[in-house]
Structure 1
Amino acid sequence: MEVSELLQQSAKLPNVPDVVRELIQQLNNPNADYGSIAEKVTKDQTLSLKILRLVNSAHFGLSRKVSSIDEAVVMLGMVQLKTMVIASGIAGSVKEVEGLDLKKFWAESFRVATLAKWYAEKTEKVDPDVAFTVGLIHNIGRLLLHIAKPKLAEAIQKRIEESNCSRSAAEMERLNFTTPQAGQALLQHWQFPADLGEAVLNHKRPLEAENPTPLSAVVNIACYINACIRKERSIEEVIARFPRDEAGFAGLPREVIDETETAMQIDSGLDSLL
């Protein structure tokens, strides 16, 4: 089987709003016109309503109700709004998927994204907004597999549970490619920046990539913390197994390991988008 088979079912592919695509394509552009993008968000009723609901949620604790995207920009700033628009647009791209708990899937993706941004803010080597976006879509290939080939995705999951093998090994056995490879292909199909696709492809083993990047290393650390939370590991075990080589490569200070307990308590604040 080839990755292209997953992309051939165009009617089933996630439907990302144009304004979200534009925002992601502009992430590395210091001259991006975010005022224009905010205006486009306003014209997308579904997107703007989701964002206003989130802005007015208890997580932000604003002193008064915000009733427009323009007000949201004033109250929270464009950086925060960017995060919300990308999260809402990507998470809303698929309504239902056979064999996958979408709410759980996106809640974990939100957490990885938030952690990736948190770690990126501690190094000068990684842009926090780019880290957030890659964290959000790091598992998009698995979503694509469930959409295009749900029975095959279910068989792979069963193989993992019965044999205790890694997901990558089970995917190579059944597909002859991995879901990070499928994720990179989907991002190329969407014409997203190449560095995002490369980070998605390499986030599981960032230092073994042909061209390792601090971005994929940061996402790897975020995924590690998320997995530890999901498996309810003790803080001692989390620190003992912390990916120190990846942290060093990403330019993170050594003291970041001492903040592991803080990282594990971080709340994305985005779950009300679901």
Structure 2
Amino acid sequence: MSLIEIHDLVNENEPLASLPNTFYKLREVVADPSCDFDDIAEIISIDPSLTLRLLKIVNSAFYGFRGEIETVTHALGVVGTEQLMQLVLATTVVGQFKGVDMIDMECFWKHSVACGLAARAIHQARGEYDGERFFVAGLLHDIGRLVMCLKAPDQLRVVLDFAKKSGDRWHKAEAKFFGFDHGSVGGALLRAWNRPKSLQEAIAHHHFPASA
């Protein structure tokens, strides 16, 4: 496979070629200085599955509330608008990957949220700003893996079988068989969405941080 086929993996399916409408609607509302938490919560609450996923994450051990957050408005007051926006981005994106049976999505989510929180914590510990950019990079760093599972499942099964037998890391086995790994696919997806270049590179090179 070649680089052009990375483009094909990302762009041949229209839902993957653009960000979900909910994200754009929320971004428009958040940009309005007169908006409040209720306005934002109203848009999110239109999608029951999105609401459920968000509340499940905010009530997880990662945030330490353990079932105390019952509404989107309450969640906004606890985690803030910017972080909830990034959670909406990640949850709506992952929600597009239906029929992926090669990955335990519950484990995928826990790993993604943990990486997002860890990335932000490291960034803040260094006294730097814009921690939410690192949070979303951690959340979405493995999004390319979902794309490959959805669009090239048969080839990926061969890769996984090889990785198990050889002891190779997953991304190294991908590179041997495809000529690229899931990080490169994730970076291509972020380019298709016109996300910031720094975010594209963080996701594309997350297994090679010196290049990010």
Q: TM-score, with normalisation over the residues of structure 2?
A: 0.77
Kindly tell me the number of residue pairs found equivalent between the two proteins: 202
Displacement after TM superposition at 1:155 (Å): 0.8
CA distance in 2, matches of 1:32, 1:124: 27
1:158 aligns with 2:171: no
Q: CA deviation at 1:190?
A: 2.0
Counterparts in 2 of 1:147-186, with a 5 A limit? 147-186=150-189
Letter in 1 for 2:65: F
Equivalent position of 1:144 in the other structure: 147
Higher alpha-carbon Rg? 1
Distance 1:116-1:17 versus aligned 2 partners, 3 A rule: same
- Does the CA contact (< 8 Å) of 1:145 and 1:179 recur in 2? yes
Q: Tell me which residue corresponds to 2:111.
A: 108
Q: Which sections of structure 1, spanning at least 5 residues, go unmatched? A: 210-215, 217-274
2:154 is the alignment partner of 1:122: no
Q: Which residues of structure 2 form unaligned runs of 5+?
A: none
- Write out aligned runs for 1:28-67 (5 A): 32-33=31-32, 35=36, 37-52=40-55, 59-60=64-65, 66-67=70-71
- Tell me how far 1:84 sits from its aligned partner: 3.8
SS of 1:121's partner is helix
Report the equivalent of 1:229. Answer: none
107-116 or 80-89: bigger deviation? 80-89
Q: How does 1:19-98 map to 2 (within 5 A)?
A: 19-20=22-23, 32-33=31-32, 35=36, 37-52=40-55, 59-60=64-65, 66-67=70-71, 69-98=72-101
What do residues 72-94 of structure 1 show as CA deviations (whole Å, max 9, x unaligned)? 43355324533542343233232
Distance 1:130 1:57, change over 3 A: closer
Coordinate RMSD, CA, aligned: 3.2
Any idea what the Cα deviations from partners look like across 1:174-210, whole Å, max 9, x if unmatched? Answer: 1112221111111111222221111111222222x2x
